[in-house]
Amino acid sequence: MAGFRPDFWLPDLACFVELTTADQRLVTRKNAKVRRLRLLHPDVEVHLVYQRDFHALLRHHGLGRAGTDAA
Give how far Cα 30 sits from Cα of 3, 21, 62, 64, Å.
11, 9, 28, 25
pTM for the whole structure: 0.71
Asked if the structure places residue 70 within a domain, the reply is no
Residue pLDDT, tens place only, 2-43: 678 899 999 999 999 999 877 777 888 889 989 999 999 999
For residue 19, the enclosing domain spans 8-60
Asked if the structure places residue 25 within a domain, the reply is yes
Contact criterion met (CB below 8 Å) for 44 and 16: yes
List, in order, residues 6 or more apart from 32 with CB less than 8 Å away: 1
Asked if the structure places residue 31 within a domain, the reply is yes
C-alpha span between 22 and 50 (Å, rounded): 8
